Amino acid sequence: MPEDITSGDGNVPVDIDISVEAGNWPDEASLTR
């Protein structure tokens, strides 16, 4: 789903977005910071 790519601010990769929906948030400090 290409929509998931820009589901957030447009800077959130699809993999992370899917993880969020699954409830498996990785280290957001390592990914977004």
Check residue 4 and give its pLDDT.
Answer: 56
Convert the pLDDT of each residue in 1-33 to its tens digit: 555 555 556 665 666 666 566 566 666 666 665
What is the 8-class DSSP label of residue 12? S
pLDDT computed for residue 16 by the predictor: 63
